[in-house]
Amino acid sequence: MLSLNDKIEKYKKVGQRYIKKLHKLGIYTIYDLLFYFPHRYEDFSDIIPIAKVGLNQKVTILGEIVEIINRKTFKKRMNITEAIIQDKSGSIRAIWFNQPYLIRTLKKKKRIAVSGKTTLSEYGLTLSNPYYELLPNYEFSSDNYESFLVSKLKHTARLVPIYHETYGLSSRYLRYLIYPIIPLADKIPDFLPSEIKKKYNLMDLSFAIKEIHFPKSLGSMEKARTRLSFDELFLINLNVLKQKYELLKEKSFSIPFNQNLIKNFVENLPFKLTDSQKIAAWEIFQDMQKIKPMNRLLNGDVGSGKTMVAILASLLVCKTGYQTAFMAPTEVLAKQHFLTLKKFLKGQNLNIGLITGSTQKLIGKKTFQIMQISKERFKKMVNEGKIDLVVGTHTLIQDNLSFPKLALVIVDEQHRFGVEQRAKLIIGNIEKQTNDKLKRINKEAKRTIPHLLSMSATPIPRTLALTVYGDLDISILKEIPTGKRKVITKIIPPEKRNYAYNLIRKQAKLKKQAFVICPRIETKDEKLGIRKKTGWEDVKAVKEEYEKLKDEFPEFKIAMLHGKMKPKEKEKIMKDFSLNKINILVSTSVIEVGIDIPNATVIVIESAERFGLAQLHQFRGRVGRSKHKSYCLLFTNSSSSKTYRRLKALLTSKNGFELAEKDLQIRGPGELTGKRQWGIPDLTMASLNDLELIQKTKEAAKKTIEQNLWNPVLVEKMKSFEKKIHLE
């Protein structure tokens, strides 16, 4: 007898060759299989006599096979299986392509249910590649025959579930596996508090699981979808609300607002701050004055000036006598921030440090020159509180790097850190200190955590902000600083590739530079056969494109950049590109975030349909960073109308926030946020468009915490949920 925790290998219906394919879908146990929900349904519940079947009608017919043969077409030598199906009212032809094995199952005189859409062929009305299922031995004439069918059939005559598939593993096979284990849903304990279920009129969990897979009706399916969507959104909201409440119990440093300092700094900038920047900075200053830790997201479009707002916050903290840690996701971006800080903080009497996996540098407050120093000296200076502002990658949270006076953590590009990770940055080292004032600050640091400012250039749609960023206060930069030119964006068909090459050549001759972006590093792959089946054979790769462009542009210097290269190699290429020693850089998405090359005027994005709109918008932000006219050229081999609609949105949207909303509508939140990373079922991701449901789950999460509605099952569910989902 199977149990929910049994591995899928124990299920006798699972053939050995399907185990790896199920694993690829994230199905390892019987429980996983039950929670692998359909992403859509085919409605074949309309059962009608053959005589009443019309053209282009989606129907189910019940009848008997009176004839079945296999034949091959003359021209293409394609295998065709033809069957004549008859009921009391008439007969109809059904054909299946390249499935000759069907003749071994669908034999003459067998009773069959066939579901599909009718077309017109030379033989009259035909069902082409219909779903099929042999009928159980039951009298056709029985009054309750159709209701009996709905309870017994899984592939026809009902709302038929369609699952996300992988090569060699079909929805039909998944239905074959799931249908027999549906009764096990009764063994899954319901974690939702009864008060919550009653208030929001939600069905029991076990019944919802049964109905989501094999619903009795559209209404029942929708109720099941609502219940299961509610569950995941409720857990997300409960998780973020729990974090928020826990953070409110903590204490942070109160950083008084120094009006003269900020006013003098802003007045000496070579540009004017936008209204959005001023508002965001003021919100941050107000947060940091409180003794409760700030937890704020600074969300702004590409080029909206987030870094300058972060500099203002850093300046205030450092001039108050505390430290700031500025974390970036890549070495390239960390070094860029380091140079930006050097540019704007000269004369502020601050020591600014940079630490990455490959280098440690220091800008001394006296000379304000960059010095290369040893790792030991760097760590010693940080540990003694002598470096005011430290920029780095994840090396900042090493166990042996202590910040005795850390009051602000700035995290660039959505790398959010929880209380424990922030606490890891505050390792008091009182014994090593001799200064009385420093000792006092360290004692305070032992019982405080720093303020947190997260920055993201990926605009967040409102519904996502309410859920996955629910524990954060949000400041939005919607304005773009004056003087920034709009990038000319075009969708280029493959046959007009020469237009792009001529533009690159023209710009390169004017000493301008170009990016060429590809989704993959290389096309060579052990699973090439599988990839061909899924359309990957047309996807451009960096290594192949680099070789191709070297032949196309022999007169120019071309380089490539991708994530598998060594840090020093990547650093040299980016340095040469920034110094205009490289004309064309062929790269993967590693250049997506924050790379600042003002001289770059063209970006060509190959296989653009493989990227999300927000990501394409980020790529486009790599050009147009100076007064020069700039171009973003999108290539795609896809003929899909959905692809064209998505890419056209990039041409018509006024800003990234509008684009994010369109991406949410067109692609759905699953692709927008990366459902593999999140581990959230499709139906839940789809519900992130449902503002009303989100509000209900937020209310329910708040009620659960404030009224202490926790039950043992919910406690365990939250523990497993927190392991599965990473809200960062």
**pLDDT, tens digit (0-9, with 9 covering 90-100), for 453-471:** 988 877 776 666 666 667 6
Which of 382-386, 416-420, 521-525, 602-606 comes out lowest in average pLDDT?
Answer: 416-420
Angle between helices 613-620 and 641-652 (to 10 degrees): 40
Quick check: 642 and 648 in contact, CB under 8 A? no
pLDDT band at 94 (very low <50, low <70, confident <90, very high): very high
- The tokens for 478 are 């919607």
pLDDT level of residue 185 (50, 70, 90 thresholds): very high
pLDDT of residue 147: 67
Backbone phi, psi, residue 501, to 5°: -65, -40
What integer is the mean pLDDT of 681-686? 55
**pLDDT at position 593:** 63
Both tokens of residue 159? 């709302």
Q: What is the pLDDT averaged over residues 416-423?
A: 49
Residue linked to tokens 């003749």: 103
Instruction: Output the CA torsion sign for 91, 128, 97, 44.
Output: negative
Mean pLDDT for all residues in the chain: 85
Q: What is the mean pLDDT of residues 681-710?
A: 81
Is residue 359 helix, strand or coil? Answer: coil
Q: Where residue 680 falls among pLDDT bands split at 50, 70, 90?
A: very low
707 DSSP assignment = T
pLDDT bracket for residue 679 (50, 70, 90): very low
Residue 18 has pLDDT above 90, yes or no: yes
- For 486-523, the pLDDT digits (tens) are 889 999 988 889 999 999 999 999 999 999 999 988 86
State percent of the chain over pLDDT 90.
55
C-beta of residue 485 within 8 angstroms of C-beta of residue 303: no
Reply yes or no on whether the pLDDT at 704 is more than 50: yes
Q: Establish how many alpha carbons lie within 13 A of residue 627's alpha carbon, considering only the half-sphere containing its beta carbon.
A: 0
Query: What pLDDT score was predicted for residue 445?
Result: 47
Structure tokens at 311: 């500099």
Average pLDDT over residues 375-387: 93
Domains 259-289+305-456 and 488-654 share a fold: yes
How far apart are alpha carbons 337 and 354 in whole angstroms? 9
Q: What is the DSSP string of 12-36?
A: TTS-GGGHHHHHHTT--BHHHHHT-
Residue 462: its pLDDT value, please?
Answer: 66
Judged by average pLDDT, the poorest of 260-274, 424-438, 444-458, 588-602 is: 424-438
Strands (E), 625-717: 631-635
Residue 716 banded pLDDT, cuts 50, 70, 90: very high
**CA–CA gap between residue 351 and residue 345 (Å, rounded):** 10
- What's 259-289+305-456's CATH class? alpha beta
Determine whether 5 is exposed, middle or buried from the number of CB atoms within 10 Å of its CB (0-12, 13-18, 19+).
Answer: exposed
pLDDT at res. 536: 42
Q: What is the pLDDT of residue 124?
A: 86
Question: Is the model's pLDDT at 418 over the cut of 80?
Answer: no
Residues 272, 275, 280, 285, CA torsion sign:
positive
- Separation of alpha carbons 239 and 241, rounded Å: 6
pLDDT at 678: 34
pLDDT at 601: 94
Can you give the pLDDT at residue 437? 46
Q: 41-162, what's its fold? A: OB fold (Dihydrolipoamide Acetyltransferase, E2P) (2.40.50)
Sequence ranges of the domains in the chain: 1-39+165-188, 41-162, 259-289+305-456, 488-654
- The average pLDDT across 605-631 equals 86
Q: Is the pLDDT of residue 591 over 80?
A: no
d(CA 632, CA 466): 32
Query: Could you give the count of Cα atoms lying within 13 Å of 622 in the half-sphere of its Cβ?
Result: 27
d(CA 202, CA 446): 46
Q: What is the CATH number of domain 488-654?
A: 3.40.50.300
- Interacting residues of 695 by C-beta distance below 8 A, sequence separation 6+: 466
The DSSP symbol for 396 reads G
Q: How many residues does the chain have?
A: 728
Q: Distance between CA 514 and CA 467 in Å, rounded? A: 38
Asked if pLDDT for residue 687 goes beyond 80, the answer is: no
Q: Answer whether residue 429 shows pLDDT above 80.
A: no
| Total Cβ atoms within 10 A of residue 576 | 14
CA distance 179 to 182: 6
pLDDT at 581: 95
Write out pLDDT tens, residues 522-577: 865 434 333 443 444 467 899 999 999 999 999 999 999 988 888 788 878 988 99
| Residue 370: count of CB within 10 angstroms of its CB | 14
**Nearest residue to 87 (alpha-carbon basis) of 106, 68, 64, 110:** 64
> What pLDDT was estimated at residue 512?
95
pLDDT bin (cut points 50, 70, 90) of residue 435 is very low
pLDDT reading at 430 higher than 50? no
Mean pLDDT of 715-727: 76
The string of pLDDT tens digits covering residues 272-296 is 999 999 999 999 999 999 999 998 9
Tell me what the mean pLDDT of segment 641-656 comes to. Answer: 80
* pLDDT level of residue 196 (50, 70, 90 thresholds): very high
Tokens coding 114: 């066939």
Q: Kindly state the tokens that stand for 184.
A: 């096990």
Residues sharing a CB contact under 8 Å with residue 561, sequence separation 6 or more, in sequence order: 542, 570, 573, 574, 585, 586, 587, 588, 590, 591
- Residue 726 clears pLDDT 80, i.e. is over it: no
pLDDT band per the 50, 70, 90 thresholds, residue 399: low
The answer, yes or no, to whether residue 441 has pLDDT greater than 60, is no
Query: What are the C-alpha distances in Å from 176 to residues 160, 179, 525?
Result: 12, 6, 32
Place of tokens 């209380």: 419
* Whether residue 361 has pLDDT greater than 80: yes
Paired sense of beta strands 451-456 and 295-300, if any: parallel
* Residues in contact with 489: Cβ distance below 8 Å, sequence separation at least 6, in sequence order: 620, 631, 632, 633, 634, 650, 651
Dist. CA 196–CA 77, nearest whole Å: 60
